Amino acid sequence: MTDRLQAKREQAHLWAPREPRRVRLDERPSRPPEQRAVLVEGATLRLREFVPGDVEGVLDIFGDPRTTREFGMPPFRRPDAEALVEQARTGARRTPRTHYRLGVSEIATGELIGSAKLIVEDQSGEGGMVRVGYRSAEVGLALRADRVSVGHSVEIGFLLGVLGFDRLGLHRVWSGFMPSNIAAQRAIEKAGMVREGRLRHYGHVDGVWHDIVQYSILEDDWKALRAR
C-alpha cells in the first residue's frame, strides 16, 4: 500500500452470504497456469482483466473527486489512468502472479464500472519460526460514483472471495479503510468481516500520512458464509 497506485483505499465492501446465479473462473488452457486470464462472473457483474481500451473508464472512476476523497488522494489525470491499466497488465504477466488488478464490468452491457484488486502477500518467508502473511492477501474496490450504494459491493465482494479463497486457496483476506469512511466500515462489519484495529500512519499518499482501519475475513468465516 506504499506506492501511489496501491495506496488507493479502494472500497472493499461486503462479503455476500449467498452465491450469485453463476460464478465462473475462465482459464484459457493455451496459457501457462500462472498466467491464465481471470474471469469471475456473478449474477450481473464480472471481474476481468484490464485491456488498453479501459483507460477512459478508469478515468471516469478515479477522475471523480467523489471517489478519490475516500482514499485521501486527488483525482486521477489521464497519465494516472494509463499507469493503472499498464500496472494491471504487467501484474497479469508475472510468474508467479501475485497482483490481480481487475476491472469490474456489467455483464449485460460490458460497461466498466469499477476497479478491484487482490494482492497476495510475499510468501518467501519459509524457514522462519513465524510466517507472517502466509496465504494472505489484501483486497480493495473502487466503484464509479454513480454505481455506489446500489448493491454492487455485495456481489463484487463475493466474487473476490471466490477468487481468493476458492481459486487461490488463501487463508486470510484483509482490507483497510480511511477512518472517515464510516459507511463502508459499517457495511463490512454487517457482512462478517472483523475489525482488527487502527493502524496509525500506515498509508502515505502525496506526502500525507493516513491512519487505516483494518478488517479481515478468514477461510473458516468464508466457508460458513458459503454454507448459509
214: left (phi over 0), alpha (psi -120 to 50) or beta: beta
Pairwise pLDDT comparison (23 vs 28), residue with the higher score: 23
The pLDDT assigned to 174 comes to: 94
The pLDDT assigned to 35 comes to: 61
The three three-digit cell numbers of residue 123, written as one number: 510468501
Strand arrangement, sheet containing 39-41: 24-25, 39-41, 45-49, 99-106, 112-120, 136-143, 172-177, 208-218, 194-205
Q: What is the pTM of this model?
A: 0.80
Answer yes or no: is pLDDT of 13 > 50. no
The pLDDT assigned to 217 comes to: 94
Cβ atoms of 1 and 138 closer than 8 Å: yes
pLDDT one-digit tens code per residue, 133-167: 899 999 999 999 999 878 788 788 889 999 999 99
How remote is the C-alpha of 87 from its chain's centroid?
14
The pLDDT assigned to 126 comes to: 61
The pLDDT assigned to 124 comes to: 64
pLDDT one-digit tens code per residue, 35-81: 679 999 999 999 999 999 999 999 999 999 999 988 888 999 999 99
The pLDDT assigned to 154 comes to: 79
Q: Which positions ≥6 away from 129 have C-beta within 8 Å?
A: none
pLDDT one-digit tens code per residue, 177-220: 889 888 778 777 766 779 999 999 998 888 889 999 999 999 99
pLDDT one-digit tens code per residue, 84-139: 999 999 999 999 999 999 999 999 999 999 999 999 987 665 656 777 789 999 99
Pairwise pLDDT comparison (30 vs 72), residue with the higher score: 72
